[in-house]
Structures are given as structure tokens and as C-alpha cells.
């Protein structure tokens, strides 16, 4: 079997990994993306209906739509994309290259590695009530895939983080009623969004938690909630329950590679270099003194990591890629777009 050696292998297909793949193409590097799940998009796949406002130059956009655009952009320079493979093994060769081994036993060969694995393999924190899982096929939800299914419904949300608050705000105009239950007085969401929620018709119940689900068959019809301070029980009639108690994160065997990991994140320097030469990090997986936990910050991490990888492979290369308006890799694409624009103007003219 021919051992195909890549310049860069990006582990993780979320926003950081996808933009890094695009930028790697700008730098004319042979690129591979390896993603654990069956789809590209990373953590954003959990919130396709969530509105995203904070990507530079992009007006408010649904998470699912942003994923589609990032995937399309990542494929500009035809990287190799591998899905459904969890990377477990890492072996550095005497010549400095790496062998990555997946859980399937497949091996991947690369000169450099960029880890954009987010928080690892994510699983939803389930509602810890006996028998709750039976309702997961009916009206107990751990994510919101489509807002419309909650139209004119009485919805109860359990949770107090960003997503719970965002879902309450998104559902408030279309649901018959929205009740949000949180075990603490303070919410973990962005201050502006929490204020918007509290000033709306959303019924905010703190400090409460869900203690029992009531049904007549396979559908939850009401929920018992308990005040954490007084232990008073209230019963709320519902058509649907949404639970957002956070995510369990698992890096698996990656934590055994010898990377400098503290408090669940890998520490890197300003060049996004880890403590292992040839391995870099981007996105939520890493931390450094200037870390910005926005999608825009993940893009910047990817660019800096890729530039470091490029200079390791080609020490005499320019430190950064030429901007797209002057980058020869876009010449044919720009000419094609220009031709299409001319054809459009002729038709309009």
C-alpha cells in the first residue's frame, strides 16, 4: 500500500478546522481533514436553528446555513475529507513526520498536524430522571433542530446556559408559552440575551429543577418542578420539554499523547504551537493569553497554526499567505466570476 504523505492533517471538522483547511489551500499545501462524526460542522450541528450574529461581515445567520457555507469554502482547494474516524494513536517518526491511527485501524501520514477537536467527542447531559429516555422519541428534546415544531406549543426549557436562554428567546414569539427552569438564580447566558428573556413573556422559574415527568402514554403532559430553597413543588402543563444541561466532553486517547493540557484545554503559544513540534492547535481545544472564544477567534487560531506549519515545512516561505485579491491561487476563480458578472451585465443591459 502506498503511504500518501500530506503536508497538513487537520483533526476536527468544526468551524476552526474548516477555515483552516481553506487557508491551507491558500498556502498551497496538501491537506486532509479527519472528522469523528458523519458530518462536518462540529458543535454547531447541535444548534442548526440558532441565530449567529458575531461573525465578521456576515449578517445574522442560522447555524445550519453557516455550516453549509463553511463546508463549501473549505472545499475550495479540494482537501481530502475523511469522516467517521476517531483518531486515537499518534506516532512521531524519526524524520519528524507523524502517523495518526484511527479507531478503525486506518493510518494517516502527515508532515504536520493541526488539532481543531473542540471539546472532543460531545454527548448531551441527559435528564437524570428514571424513565425519561422513553420520551426522547416523542416530546423530550435535547436540542432544537427546527423551531417550527414548537409553534403554538406550551414549552418548558430546563437549563441556564447560553443555548437555553437563546432557545427561550427564539421560541417566545412562536410558542403558546415558554417556561424556563434553572436551578440557580443567575443565568450563564450573555447578559443582553438574559435581559431580553426576562423582559419578554417567558416565565422564568429560579431556583427550580425538574423532578418528575407525568404522562398518559408516550407523551409528557406535565412536569413537576421543585424550588431548591423551599422544596415547594409546582406542576406545569406542557406540550414539549427541552433539556439543556450542558455537554460531556471526551478527548479520549488524545490526552495520552504528551500534550500540555490543563483544565481541559491544550496550552499553546502565540504561534499556536503545542509542546510537541509539528503539532498545532486551533479553536476551543486550545488556550493562550490572548484567546478569544468566538468563531472569529477560531478562524484566527487556524490561520496562525497553519502559517506555523507552513514555515516548519518550508522555512523560506512567506510568513503569511497573500490576500485573496492578489493570491495567484484565486486567479482562475476570479476570472470565472468576472466572466459570470459580465454575462449578467449583458443580460441586464
**Residue 165: all three cell numbers together:** 436562554
Nearest Cα to 153, choosing from 49, 243, 240? 240
- Residue with C-alpha cell 469522516? 83
Q: Where in the chain is the domain with CATH 3.50.50.60?
A: 5-122+248-338, 126-245
In CATH, what class is 126-245? alpha beta
**Chain segment 298-349, per-residue pLDDT in tens:** 999 999 999 999 999 999 999 998 787 777 778 777 777 775 555 545 544 4
The share of the chain scoring above pLDDT 90, in percent, equals 75
pLDDT of residue 341: 53
d(Cα 333, Cα 221) in Å, to the nearest integer? 56
User: What pLDDT is stored for residue 158 in this prediction?
Assistant: 96
* 8 A C-beta contact, residue 181 and residue 225: yes
The residues near 192 (Cβ < 8 Å, ≥ 6 apart) are: none
pLDDT at residue 198 in the model:
95
For the domain bounded by 5-122+248-338, which CATH number is listed? 3.50.50.60
Tell me the mean pLDDT in the region 203-218: 94
Considering only 86-95, 254-263, 340-349, which range has the smallest mean pLDDT? Answer: 340-349
Do residues 279 and 308 lie in contact, with contact meaning Cβ atoms separated by under 8 Å? no
Match 424550588 to its residue by C-alpha cell.
Answer: 227
Using one digit for the tens of pLDDT, what is the confidence trace for 138-174? 999 998 888 999 999 999 999 998 889 999 999 999 9
What CA–CA distance (Å, rounded) separates 191 from 204? 15
For residue 5, give the nearest of 109, 113, 114, 112 by alpha carbon: 109
Tell me the mean pLDDT in the region 4-14: 97
- For residue 339, the model assigns a pLDDT of 55
Direct distance between the N- and C-terminal alpha carbons of the chain, in angstroms, rounded to an integer = 57
Tell me the Cα Rg of the chain.
23
Cis before residue 207, ω within 30 degrees of 0? yes
pTM of the model: 0.72
Q: What is the mean pLDDT of the chain?
A: 91
Residue 16: which residues within 8 A CB-CB, separation 6 or more?
42, 116, 118, 282, 283, 284, 285, 298, 299, 301, 302
Amino acid at each position: 500500500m502506498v503511504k500518501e504523505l500530506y503536508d497538513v492533517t487537520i483533526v476536527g471538522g468544526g468551524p476552526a478546522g474548516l477555515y483552516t483547511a481553506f487557508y491551507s489551500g491558500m498556502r498551497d499545501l496538501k491537506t486532509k481533514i479527519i472528522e469523528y462524526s458523519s458530518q462536518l460542522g462540529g458543535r454547531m450541528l447541535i444548534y442548526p436553528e440558532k441565530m449567529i450574529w458575531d461573525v465578521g461581515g456576515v449578517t445574522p445567520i442560522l447555524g445550519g446555513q453557516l455550516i453549509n457555507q463553511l463546508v463549501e469554502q473549505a472545499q475550495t482547494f479540494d482537501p481530502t475529507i475523511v469522516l467517521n474516524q476517531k483518531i486515537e494513536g499518534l506516532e512521531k517518526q524519526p524524520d519528524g513526520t507523524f502517523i495518526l491511527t484511527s479507531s478503525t485501524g486506518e493510518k494517516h501520514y502527515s508532515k504536520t498536524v493541526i488539532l481543531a477537536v473542540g471539546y472532543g467527542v460531545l454527548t448531551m447531559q441527559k435528564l437524570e430522571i428514571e424513565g425519561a429516555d422513553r420520551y426522547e422519541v416523542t416530546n423530550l428534546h435535547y436540542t432544537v433542530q427546527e423551531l417550527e415544531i414548537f409553534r403554538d406549543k406550551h414549552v418548558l426549557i430546563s437549563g441556564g446556559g447560553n443555548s437555553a436562554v437563546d432557545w427561550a428567546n427564539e421560541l417566545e414569539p412562536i410558542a403558546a408559552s415558554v417556561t424556563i427552569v434553572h436551578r440557580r438564580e443567575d443565568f450563564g447566558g450573555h447578559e443582553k440575551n438574559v435581559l431580553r428573556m426576562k423582559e419578554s413573556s417567558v416565565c422564568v422559574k429560579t431556583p427550580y429543577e425538574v423532578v418528575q415527568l407525568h404522562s398518559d402514554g408516550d407523551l409528557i403532559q406535565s412536569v413537576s418542578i421543585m424550588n431548591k430553597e423551599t422544596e415547594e413543588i409546582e406542576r406545569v402543563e406542557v406540550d414539549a420539554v427541552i433539556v439543556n444541561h450542558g455537554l460531556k466532553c471526551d478527548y479520549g486517547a488524545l490526552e495520552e499523547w504528551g500534550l500540555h493540557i490543563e483544565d481541559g484545554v491544550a496550552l499553546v503559544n502565540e504561534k499556536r504551537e503545542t509542546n510537541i513540534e509539528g503539532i498545532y492547535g486551533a479553536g476551543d481545544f486550545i488556550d493562550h493569553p490572548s484567546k478569544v472564544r468566538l468563531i472569529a477567534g477560531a478562524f484566527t487560531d487556524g490561520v496562525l497554526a497553519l502559517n506555523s506549519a507552513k514555515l516548519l515545512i518550508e522555512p523560506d516561505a512567506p510568513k503569511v499567505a497573500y490576500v485573496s485579491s492578489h493570491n495567484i491561487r484565486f486567479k482562475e476563480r476570479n476570472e470565472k466570476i468576472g466572466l459570470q458578472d459580465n454575462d449578467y451585465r449583458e443580460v441586464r443591459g
